[in-house]
Structure formats: C-alpha cells, structure tokens
Structure 1
Amino acid sequence: MLRTVSSHQELDLRGRTEMVFSIAVAASWPTASESLDFVLDDAPQHPTELVDARGTRLHTLIAGPGRLVVDYAATVEATPEPAPLSAIDRVEYLRPSRYCESDVLTPTARSLFPAQIGHELLQSVRDWVSQNIRYTPGVSMATDGAAHSLLTRRGVCRDYAHLTIAMLRAKDVPARYASVYAPGLSPMDFHAVAEAYVEGAWWIVDSTGLAPRQSLVRIATGRDAADVAFLTNHWADLFLQNLVITATADVLPNDDHRSPVQLP
C-alpha cells in the first residue's frame, strides 16, 4: 500500500525558544521519499534528529524570535514487521501514567468487563468507549486524562485512546498510545490510537472508528499523549498559527473495527 503524508505548521515565536517536534514517521518505517524543512523568517534552520528506544524520531531546534514554518512530507511504500514486546515494555505499559489513570479506573473496568480476556476484552473495551463517549472537538483540555473523559463522556481521539488504555491496563493488559498519520480520517489531523498486547502481539484499538486501521502510519509511541506530543517547547512562548495535515493511501481499506489489526 502506497501512503503519502505531510505536515505544515506556521509558528509565531515570541523569543528564543527550544522546540521538540514529533512529526516524522517512525524509524522502523522505510520511506521511498522524505523531506523536512524548517524556515525562520526566510532563513533555513537545521534541527537535530534524536531517535528514542521505541523508534520515535524527534527533531529539536533552538530558534526565534520570528515566524517559523515547518514542512514535512514522506511517501511510504513498504510496511515493516511489528516489533515484539520486551520485558521492560510489559512493566512500563501496565503502570498508570499521567493521562491513563488505570489505578483510579480499576473498579470501573472490573465492573464493566468482569470475565472478558484476550481479543474479546479488547473488543468489549473498544465497543464500550465508542458507544459511551461522544466525539466533541474543543471540550477537553491538555491536562485532562482518562478519568475526566469517563466523567464527561466527551472528547477527541486523544481522550478515546487514553480511556481505552486506562481500562485495558486496569484489566492487566499492557496498553500504549500511538500517534499516527491516518489516511481516510475526517476531519484530517494527527490521529491517536491505543495498542494492546494480547496473545503474543500488539493490536490496534481505535475506539473512534474514524479511519481504517490498515492504512495507519506510526509517528510516535509512548505511555500516553505526554510522550508523543507533536510539538513541545521551553523558554519563550510560541503560538501555532496554522496546522495542515494530509494523509492519503492508494487503496483505502474497508475496516469494520472488529477483526484484529496490527500497527508495525
């Protein structure tokens, strides 16, 4: 499957600031073509690439003040093999995290899913979150986690993923957060999905159902949104003035969100 993805950002930097971008496809994904350009007030900038233990590619840059334009584009032809679960992954992805308060939600998860295991549990959690949370842009804040989403019953893909992950961890299933490019997503944006480890492999759990899982391209992987934000900065303030994401595939699969699917 041929997938083409891009990201365009325009940032107003109010002073000299340190920025970390997570917008490039993960290191495990072979790209047929790729470009990444940073321009501050018409002057090209040169970021530093860092790759973390999960294959997330981070690009760091110190710049400003001024108008920063960031453009990324990639074409992906091949799909890599999924990575196995390591011993440290199992420990890390079973623990509560900032946005996935599985310890707080353990009584709820045990009550809602008392006997389900394996893929049946994944499907049950996915269906419950999908049916009980209303997709509502603009209602959740950057500091809201899974417990807040459970109470308000509203949110966006980030909130769906956090609640799904917290419920699964509360049922002793390793679960993690992935940011992705998502051909077929509407409205188009960076997308977030959960992944759960059962029966010897990682499986996508997308409780929004907004894009076919088979066409997703991994950007970053972590415990929750705190680990995979597309942009973080320190020192001076910055303001995101424009953000345009595109993601297309030459073949867009039909996905019933019931058959198991992996995200390499």
Structure 2
Amino acid sequence: MQRVVTAEMDLDLGASVDLIFQIAVAQAAPVSDERLTFTQGDRVYTPTEIVDQSGSRLHRLTGEPGTLEVRYEATVDGTAAANRTSDLETITYLRPSRYCQSDEVFQQARRQFNGLSGHDLIAAVSEFVATSTTYTPGLSQGTDSAVTTLMTGQGVCRDYAHVVIALLRAMDMPARYAACYAPGLRPMDFHAVAEAYLDGAWYAIDATRLANRRSLVRIATGRDAADCAFLSYHGGYVGLKRLRVDARLVPLDAASDPAPDQLAELVQLA
C-alpha cells in the first residue's frame, strides 16, 4: 500500500517569530520520497528537526516579516514498525491532560461503562462517542475540550478523539492522541484519532468513522491536540492565509489496497 501525502500553507508573518511545525510524517514511517520547503520570496529557510520520544518530527525556524510558503510532500510505502512503549509513557497516558480531563468525566465513565474492560471497553466507548456526537465543521473552537464536547454533542475529529481518550483514561486504560494524514477523508484536512493501549499494543479508534484506519499515516503522537498542533508559534503575529491538505492511495495492484475498516476489529495505526 502506497500513500502520497501533501500539505501546503501560506503564512502572513507580522514580525520575527519562532515557528514550530508538525506536518512531516512520523520518524518510523517507511518514506520513499520526501520534500519539505520553507520559502519567502528568494529566501529559503533551513529548519532544525527535533524528534520527540514517540517519533514525532518537529521542524523549527525563525521566520521574518512577510509571506512564508510551506510545502510538504511525501510518499509512504507500506506500514511502519510499532515503537516500543515504555512504562513512563503508559503512566503519562493515564493522567488527565489539558483537553482530556479524565478526572472530570470519571463519574460518567464509571456509571456508563461499569464492568467493561479490554476490547469490550474500547468498542463501547467508540460506539458511544460515534453515536452521541455530531460532526460539525466550523463550529468547534480550538479551546474546546472533552468536557465541552460531551456537553454540546458536536465537534470535529480532534473533539471526538479527546472524548474517547478522556473516557478510556477514566476507566484506567492508557489512551493517547494521534494526528494523521487520512486518504479518503471528506472534507480533506489533517485528521486526528485516539489510540488505546491493550495487551502491549496501541490500537486506533476513529469515532468519526470518516476514514479507513488501515490507510492512516501518523504525523504526531501526544497526550492531546496541544502536543500535536500542525503549527505553533511564539513571539509575534502569524496569520494563516491558505491551507491545503491532501492524502491519497496510489493503486499498485488490487492486493495492496487496504482491507475495509471493520469497526469491531482492533486496528493498529500504520
């Protein structure tokens, strides 16, 4: 299975500003071709690449006033090998975080999912979030959390993931957030899913059910969206003038196409 992923953004920089991007596919992805450029007129920036403990790749640079054009394209062949998970990671992914307040949803989770564990718990949480939340592009705020989404019953992929993570952590199952490229996603954008840790492996949960989990390409992994933002900046004004994201499968032969996504199955992020 081969996937081609692209991201393009034009940024209006009002001053010298520290920029941190997470748009490149994760370190473990089997990339056969990759290009990442940052240009401003005739100037070409060379970023510093920083790789975190989960293999997320951050690219950092100091941009000067003007329009910065960011272009990324990668071809990913096959699936990535799973990274080893440390005891410290599982502890971290049991704790409440900024957007996944598992302590605040503890009572609801314990009442609703009482007696469930393992695969049954994952399936029940996924089904609950899928059926109780309405996908509503444009209405979700960047500061919305799992608690907000449970109250409003609406959101986008990041909100679905946050609710899943918060409920699983409240039930003592480690859960984390993954930003991805998602072939077939409509509307196309950066995508987000939750991952649950069970029997030594991480399994993807996409309660939006808008993309085939078997075709996803990991970008970044963290406690919640705060760890996986495609852009963060410090020290100046940044305006997003244009953003375009695309991800597509390249047909090699019929056997290489991903199997249909059976919602009841445990699927690891490729």
Number of positions where the alignment pairs a residue of Structure 1 with one of Structure 2: 264
- 1:107 aligned counterpart, secondary structure: helix
- Which contiguous aligned blocks of 4+ residues in structure 1 show a shift greater than 3 angstroms? none
- 1:103 aligned counterpart, secondary structure: coil
Instruction: After superposition, give the CA deviation of every residue in 1:126-152 in whole Å (9 maximum; x if it has no partner).
Output: 000000000001222111110000000
- 1:218 aligned partner: 218
- 1:88 aligned partner: 88
Amino acid at match of 1:53: Q
Alpha carbons 1:194, 1:206 under 8 Å: kept: yes
Instruction: After superposition, give the CA deviation of every residue in 1:13-32 in whole Å (9 maximum; x if it has no partner).
Output: 11110100000000011210
- 1:262 matches 2:268: yes
- 1:124 aligned partner: 124
Alpha carbons 1:175, 1:197 under 8 Å: kept: yes
Alpha carbons 1:90, 1:174 under 8 Å: kept: yes
Partners of 1:46 and 1:85 in 2: how far apart?
Answer: 32
- 1:102 aligned counterpart, secondary structure: coil
Identity across the alignment (%) = 50
Amino acid at match of 2:220: A
Cα displacement (A) at 1:43: 1.7
- 1:71 aligned partner: 71
- 1:8 aligned partner: 8
Gaps in structure 1 of 5+ consecutive residues: none
Tell me which moved more, 71-80 or 150-159: 71-80
Instruction: After superposition, give the CA deviation of every residue in 1:104-133 in whole Å (9 maximum; x if it has no partner).
Output: 000000111111110110010000000000
Alpha carbons 1:184, 1:252 under 8 Å: kept: no
- 1:152 matches 2:152: yes
- 2:232 aligned partner: 232
Cα displacement (A) at 1:53: 0.8
Q: How does 1:181-260 map to 2 (within 5 A)?
A: 181-249=181-249, 250=251, 251=257, 253-260=259-266
Instruction: After superposition, give the CA deviation of every residue in 1:47-72 in whole Å (9 maximum; x if it has no partner).
Output: 11111111000000101100000000
- 2:163 aligned counterpart, secondary structure: helix
Amino acid at match of 1:224: D
Instruction: After superposition, give the CA deviation of every residue in 1:188-209 in whole Å (9 maximum; x if it has no partner).
Output: 0000000000122110011000
Tell me which moved more, 157-166 or 84-93: 84-93
- 2:162 aligned counterpart, secondary structure: helix
Note the aligned Cα RMSD (angstroms): 1.0
- 2:104 aligned counterpart, secondary structure: helix
Q: How does 1:153-192 map to 2 (within 5 A)?
A: 153-192=153-192
Amino acid at match of 1:255: D
Partners of 2:68 and 2:259 in 1: how far apart?
Answer: 36
Alpha carbons 2:54, 2:83 under 8 Å: kept: no
- 1:28 aligned counterpart, secondary structure: coil
- 2:55 aligned partner: 55
Alpha carbons 1:31, 1:76 under 8 Å: kept: yes
Cα displacement (A) at 1:260: 0.8
Cα displacement (A) at 1:42: 3.3
- 2:108 aligned partner: 108
- 1:76 aligned counterpart, secondary structure: strand
Tell me which moved more, 241-250 or 221-230: 241-250
Gaps in structure 2 of 5+ consecutive residues: 252-256
Cα displacement (A) at 1:84: 2.9
Partners of 1:258 and 1:215 in 2: how far apart?
Answer: 17
TM-score by structure 1 length?
Answer: 0.98
Cα displacement (A) at 1:256: 2.7
Alpha carbons 2:5, 2:246 under 8 Å: kept: yes
Tell me which moved more, 251-260 or 32-41: 251-260
Instruction: After superposition, give the CA deviation of every residue in 1:219-264 in whole Å (9 maximum; x if it has no partner).
Output: 0000000001000001111110111111011335421322110014
